[in-house]
Amino acid sequence: MADVPTDAPQHCPGTESEQAGKSSACQGCPNQSLCASGLPKQPDPAIEEIKQKMSTVKHKILVLSGKGGVGKSTFSAHLAHGLASDESKEVAVLDIDICGPSIPRIMGLEGEQVHQSGSGWSPVYVEDNLSVMSIGFLLGSPDDAVIWRGPKKNGMIKQFLRDVDWGGLDYLIVDTPPGTSDEHLSIVQYLSAAQIDGAVIITTPQEVSLQDVRKEITFCRKVNLPIIGVVENMSIFICPKCKKSSEIFPPTTGGAEKMCEELNIPLLGKVPLDPQIGKSCDEGKSFLTECPDSPATVAYRNIIQSKYKRKKSNLLCKEHQNQITSKYVFM
Amino acid sequence: MADVPTDAPQHCPGTESEQAGKSSACQGCPNQSLCASGLPKQPDPAIEEIKQKMSTVKHKILVLSGKGGVGKSTFSAHLAHGLASDESKEVAVLDIDICGPSIPRIMGLEGEQVHQSGSGWSPVYVEDNLSVMSIGFLLGSPDDAVIWRGPKKNGMIKQFLRDVDWGGLDYLIVDTPPGTSDEHLSIVQYLSAAQIDGAVIITTPQEVSLQDVRKEITFCRKVNLPIIGVVENMSIFICPKCKKSSEIFPPTTGGAEKMCEELNIPLLGKVPLDPQIGKSCDEGKSFLTECPDSPATVAYRNIIQSKYKRKKSNLLCKEHQNQITSKYVFM
């Protein structure tokens, strides 16, 4: 049914049906009284406020993955570092992984606090032109757990978008948790009027990870989110002693390359495993400047510098199309 | 405030306060009318039904991680295979990773369907004494995305616990998604009357992963969930050519070993990286029988056979204690 919201309870009769707000499935639904009243549902006023706030942000890019632990936050951080290496660009990272925020550690900002000013929450600055916001800055200790169900996570995301004083930005990179649930629906919904340029999807080569990426692609199609392309992380490992290349997560079904071909999605690049990446992340340093000659740095830089032209005309509002060819200028 | 539920909206005045159900924060909360009525909150009747259903299940073990992609589902599947290698034991796996179910693929059950009988949903059998339930069996295609917010995910978990005909079981292993949100709160809540033996927490050696494990430990303490111990996955990689051992995810802060010492939690074992593990998972075969001589198999078997005696007396109902020493007989 077209009028069943994606966040509706099971057996929702649909917001336009005769039974709206009256069926047994409506019991306990936060929208029960609204549906029963017969009034058309008003959009959340925050969407318009966020549109205003985001009018000074030129590009908004989501970084998604199906599975966790594939290097999403690492990519987000390095994309930001890479873009910010052009001092004329203003870059920011918004971490909406509410229960597992790793951006503060990876970007060397652990222990930093957010300050409040007249114009909203101030993000934390890594460089003059690179700022970060994460729930990690609001916790008393990095060990504190954020034990929140969906509605509280959604409220936090809304606050990040509406109440943070981002200033004028060229790029806002949004790092997400794995999956296709509250955080993903909320960010797409809250940014719907402000428009998202598209999503970069991160994966590792093995089928168990690709399977979840296909779910993520289905999600992007359902919510009309353009796909910028796929990055394959941890593609190979080169032994530091004998230089033998090993496939630690073997691409038993052809890896991201074959999947991208089949689905007609751009493969932005493959990044090899380098133990120095994990080390730089733990130490909060940019791997790109720590190891400028690593094959992984070269791969990251190539991805960041890919000069794709965005063609989103055939993307929006056509739900079941097979061709997703959103392309985009990163730099 | 003690009476603020963990899933309450922001600024919840507390269920026992004068303002309960009446403050501006209560607008839209599903419990608003209940709180405003002043009646004491009744426990979900499903908790008692689940207790009845679970009375034939001897041991219930949760497999948790803070971060995704650390090998949680792989461990769950191998723990199940290992326990079921004793044919006198009945073992089952329940996959509550609603948005990213990888258990069907890892256990070689992709494309299987759940059947309904008079006594409930029948799980899918891998062996005579090893059964599995996952949302993956309810999807039309493995690429289908489950784009659900919290309440629908919670409803599904309730159905899995209440409506699946598990039969008599020695072990029910529950594989979870990463984090500390809806799925985790729901499984602990729904199994509260049926009692959970404890949680095994999976990590990789780098600090970015350990940081999230500490959050998971905080979660376990807050909800009084005993911790069986920690497993460190992907500890080292041995080059198949020159046998050099590499730390792919370097333990910059001492790895799981140091963390477990500091927090006085048992380290159940360290499992090295073996590319054959990923391959076996993609092919849905048990790595333990595919590669019986791999150092990773030896590590898995040692963990499964650890004969810990459970001591949970000092665990329950003491929220801020430092010593979590739940130990448990796996086999």
For residue B98, the model assigns a pLDDT of 97
A237-to-A67, A80, A273 alpha-carbon distances in Å: 20, 24, 5
Section A11-31 average pLDDT: 76
For residue A118, the model assigns a pLDDT of 87
What SS3 class is residue A114?
coil
The β-bridge partners of A307 are A329
For residue A29, the model assigns a pLDDT of 76
Share of chain A above pLDDT 70, in %: 88
First to last CA, chain B: 41
- 8 Å CB contact between B65 and B39: no
The β-bridge partners of B116 are B121
Helices A207-222 and A255-263 cross at an angle (nearest 10°) of 30
Which of A98, A207, A282 comes nearest B282 by C-beta? A207
What SS3 class is residue B232?
strand
pTM for this predicted structure: 0.86
What SS3 class is residue B189?
helix
Q: With a CB-CB cutoff of 8 Å, which residues 285-324 of chain B face chain A?
A: none
DSSP letter at A272 equals E
Q: Is the predicted pLDDT of residue B190 greater than 60, yes or no? A: yes
- Answer whether B247 touches A (CB < 8 Å): yes
Q: With a CB-CB cutoff of 8 Å, which residues 6-35 of chain A face chain B?
A: 6-10, 28-30
- Answer whether A100 touches B (CB < 8 Å): yes
Q: Is the predicted pLDDT of residue B5 greater than 70, yes or no? A: no
- 8 Å CB contact between B62 and B200: yes
Share of chain B above pLDDT 70, in %: 88
Taking CB atoms and an 8 Å cut-off, how many pairs form between chains A and B? 251
Task: Please state, rounded to an integer, the average pLDDT across all residues of chain A.
Answer: 88
Fill in the amino acid letter for A225: L
Task: Kindly indicate the confidence band of residue B7, based on its pLDDT and cuts at 50, 70 and 90.
Answer: low
Q: Of the ranges A10-14, A200-204, B112-116, which is most confident?
A: A200-204
What sign for the dihedral angle of Cα A112, A118, A121, A124?
negative
B271-to-A136, A234, B41, B69, B300 alpha-carbon distances in Å: 30, 19, 45, 14, 7
B138-to-B58, B116, B175, B282 alpha-carbon distances in Å: 27, 12, 17, 20
- Answer whether A2 touches B (CB < 8 Å): no
- DSSP output for A118-159: TTEEEPEEEETTEEEEEGGGGSSSTT------HHHHHHHHHH
- 8 Å CB contact between B59 and B197: yes
Per the CB < 8 Å rule, is B214 touching A143?
Answer: yes
Task: Kindly indicate the confidence band of residue A36, based on its pLDDT and cuts at 50, 70 and 90.
Answer: confident
Which of B98, B211, B248 comes nearest A105 by C-beta? B211
Task: Kindly indicate the confidence band of residue B19, based on its pLDDT and cuts at 50, 70 and 90.
Answer: confident
For residue B315, the model assigns a pLDDT of 33
Per the CB < 8 Å rule, is A237 touching B216?
Answer: no
Which region among A23-32, A184-193, B64-73, B312-321 has the lowest average model confidence (pLDDT)?
B312-321
pLDDT tens digits, residue range B231-264? 999 999 999 999 999 999 999 999 999 999 999 9
For residue A4, the model assigns a pLDDT of 67
Q: Is the predicted pLDDT of residue B1 greater than 70, yes or no? A: no
- 8 Å CB contact between A203 and A65: yes
In terms of CA atoms, which chain A residue is nearest residue B101? A212
Residues ≥6 apart with Cβ < 8 Å to B240: A244, A246
ipTM: 0.84
pLDDT tens digits, residue range B84-123? 999 999 999 999 999 999 999 999 999 999 998 888 999 9
In terms of CA atoms, which chain A residue is nearest residue B182? A149
- Select from B249, B262, B172, B274 the least CA-distant residue to B214: B262
For residue B197, the model assigns a pLDDT of 96
pLDDT tens digits, residue range A126-151? 999 999 999 999 999 999 999 999 99
For residue B119, the model assigns a pLDDT of 87
- 8 Å CB contact between A285 and B207: no
Which region among A235-244, B11-20, B76-85 has the lowest average model confidence (pLDDT)?
B11-20
The β-bridge partners of B57 are B169
SS3 content of chain B, % helix, strand, coil (to 5): 35, 20, 45
Q: What is the largest CA-CA distance in chain A?
A: 72
Per the CB < 8 Å rule, is A178 touching B181?
Answer: no
Per the CB < 8 Å rule, is A208 touching B281?
Answer: yes
Section B139-150 average pLDDT: 93
Distance (Å, whole) CA A18 – CA B36: 28
pLDDT tens digits, residue range B269-302? 999 999 999 999 999 999 999 999 999 999 999 9
pLDDT tens digits, residue range B156-166? 999 999 999 99
- Measured in whole angstroms, the distance separating CA B303 from the mean position of its chain's CA atoms is 17
Q: Is the predicted pLDDT of residue B21 greater than 90, yes or no? A: no
For residue B3, the model assigns a pLDDT of 63
- 8 Å CB contact between B244 and A242: yes
- 8 Å CB contact between B222 and B180: no
Which of A7, A248, A253 comes nearest B237 by C-beta? A248
Which region among A4-13, A83-92, B146-155, B156-165 has the lowest average model confidence (pLDDT)?
A4-13
Which region among A78-92, A185-199, B18-32, B244-258 has the lowest average model confidence (pLDDT)?
B18-32
Per the CB < 8 Å rule, is B181 touching A28?
Answer: no
For residue B41, the model assigns a pLDDT of 66
Chain A residues lying within 8 Å of B282, measured CB to CB? 206-208, 250, 252-253
Write out the H or E segment, with its range, that includes residue A32: helix A32-37
Residues ≥6 apart with Cβ < 8 Å to B229: B200, B201, B260, B265, B266, B267, B268, B306, B308, B327
Q: With a CB-CB cutoff of 8 Å, which residues 118-157 of chain B face chain A?
A: 142-153, 155
Per the CB < 8 Å rule, is B6 touching A151?
Answer: no
Chain B residues lying within 8 Å of A178, measured CB to CB? 68-69, 99-100, 177-178
Q: Is the predicted pLDDT of residue B312 greater than 90, yes or no? A: no
- 8 Å CB contact between B214 and B222: no
Which of B146, B180, B250 comes nearest A146 by C-beta? B180
Section B148-157 average pLDDT: 95
Question: A52 phi and psi, to 5 degrees?
Answer: -60, -50
Tokens found for residue A237: 């490992």
Residue with the larger pLDDT of the pair A2 and B175? B175
User: Residue A92 — left, alpha, or beta (φ > 0 → left; ψ -120 to 50 → alpha)?
Assistant: beta
Q: With a CB-CB cutoff of 8 Å, which residues 175-204 of chain B face chain A?
A: 177-182, 184-185, 204
For residue B256, the model assigns a pLDDT of 97
Task: Kindly indicate the confidence band of residue A3, based on its pLDDT and cuts at 50, 70 and 90.
Answer: low
Which of B30, B219, B252 comes nearest A147 by C-beta? B219
Q: Chain B closest CA to A54's CA: distance in Å?
A: 24
Which of A9, A144, A240 comes nearest B218 by C-beta? A144
- Answer whether A206 touches B (CB < 8 Å): yes
Q: Chain B closest CA to A151's CA: distance in Å?
A: 7
